[in-house]
């Protein structure tokens, strides 16, 4: 049943701040993942930028961050107004279902009619008024009982993102953009992506989820009842410092690792409970150095993007991106779409075309005992 309180007044934002971002190695590492870096040139980390764009929607006291124990100090330093009750520390990474559903289970105990919205800590978003408009519509759709997501209107036939196939308008009051979700589509090949772009009925999946907490948890219970029971047990102990530790020690090692796309979103879409609001704002998940180069060059293919407070780069007829964390002089002459990442203990040189393959280097280092640089 919809609460008599306004939907926006019951909104609580959740920022899952996890994942190493292995395609951005050696910049992003286990002890300094990409959300702790300034990758947009804003002067703040991606995490702080995420916080800043959610404050106008939720307020500082209604933003929860879910992150690893190892990152607590860095997160708290970057977010000085984050309250102790609103930081959830994971004993070990357990993928997005645990991060988001645990937050939902904790918040619904505190506020039974709460609406939550999950927004990744490591995305770059522009044209913020359009972002706020889309989120506000998604909150209204969620209040009507749907699990809502925000799909990004494609600007190119990208093969790096999953897609959402839109259905019919929902007719939800104050949310004219809300439509049903027919299906979620995995990352396509180029020909298929071009077809999606031409069709006009497909949106990029930005993995933003907005829902009444009770609706999201009920949906999870249909597909993963054991996981839901474990998360409810954790949530019941969470706000008591005496019971939290023993509950985490007992339950956490047995939590299933599963992405929320598979545990909640896809089953909800199949049952007609999933909705999408198109987002017209600029968005990038900065998944690799090719996207990082594009973001920092304003989309111009002929430019060389340079990141690093003390970067010393000499370039002649060069394009791509240089990320420098050293004082070393880097000289580039006549190279196109180059990627150079220079850190004190590791150097990466590749091209934007091969940026997705950086993850294979990380995998190889794990197998060959190179974990000291991961």
Q: What are the C-alpha distances in Å from 15 to residues 50, 80, 118?
A: 8, 15, 6
Whether this prediction's pTM lies above 0.85 is answered by yes
Residues of the chain short of pLDDT 50, as ranges, are 1-2
pLDDT of residue 1: 43
Is 139:208 a contact under the CB 8 Å cutoff? no
Q: What are the C-alpha distances in Å from 326 to residues 33, 163, 300, 307, 320?
A: 18, 39, 26, 11, 19
């Amino acid at each position: 049943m919809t609460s008599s309180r306004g939907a926006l007044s019951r909104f609580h934002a959740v920022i899952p701040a996890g994942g190493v971002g292995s395609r951005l190695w050696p910049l992003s590492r286990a002890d300094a993942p990409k959300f702790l870096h300034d990758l947009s040139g804003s002067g703040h980390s991606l995490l702080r930028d995420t916080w800043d764009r959610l404050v106008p929607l939720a307020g500082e006291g209604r933003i929860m961050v879910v992150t690893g124990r190892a990152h607590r100090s860095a997160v708290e330093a970057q977010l000085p107004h984050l309250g102790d009750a609103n930081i959830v520390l994971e004993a070990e990474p357990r993928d997005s279902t645990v991060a988001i559903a645990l937050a939902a289970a904790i918040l619904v105990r505190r506020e039974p009619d709460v609406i939550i919205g999950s927004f990744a800590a490591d995305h770059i978003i522009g044209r913020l008024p359009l972002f706020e408009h889309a989120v506000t519509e998604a909150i209204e759709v969620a209040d009507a009982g749907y699990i809502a997501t925000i799909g990004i209107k494609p600007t190119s036939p990208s093969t790096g993102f999953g897609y959402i196939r839109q259905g019919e308008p929902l007719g939800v009051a104050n949310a004219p953009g809300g439509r049903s979700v027919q299906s979620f589509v995995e990352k396509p090949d180029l020909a298929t992506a071009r077809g999606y772009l031409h069709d006009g009925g497909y949106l990029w999946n930005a993995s933003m989820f907005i829902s009444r907490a009770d609706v999201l948890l009920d949906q999870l219970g249909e597909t993963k009842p054991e996981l839901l029971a474990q998360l409810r047990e954790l949530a019941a102990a969470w706000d008591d410092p005496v019971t939290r530790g023993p509950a985490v020690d007992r339950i956490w090692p047995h939590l299933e690792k599963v992405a929320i796309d598979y545990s909640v979103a896809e089953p909800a879409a199949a049952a007609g409970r999933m909705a999408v609001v198109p987002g017209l704002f600029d968005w990038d998940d900065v998944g690799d150095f090719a996207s990082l180069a594009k973001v920092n060059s304003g989309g111009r293919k002929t430019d060389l993007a340079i990141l690093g407070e003390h970067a010393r780069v000499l370039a002649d007829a060069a394009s791509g991106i240089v990320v420098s964390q050293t004082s070393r002089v880097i000289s580039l002459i006549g190279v196109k779409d180059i990627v150079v990442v220079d850190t004190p203990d590791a150097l990466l040189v590749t091209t934007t075309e091969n940026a997705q393959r950086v993850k294979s280097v990380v995998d190889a280092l794990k197998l060959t005992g190179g974990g000291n640089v991961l």
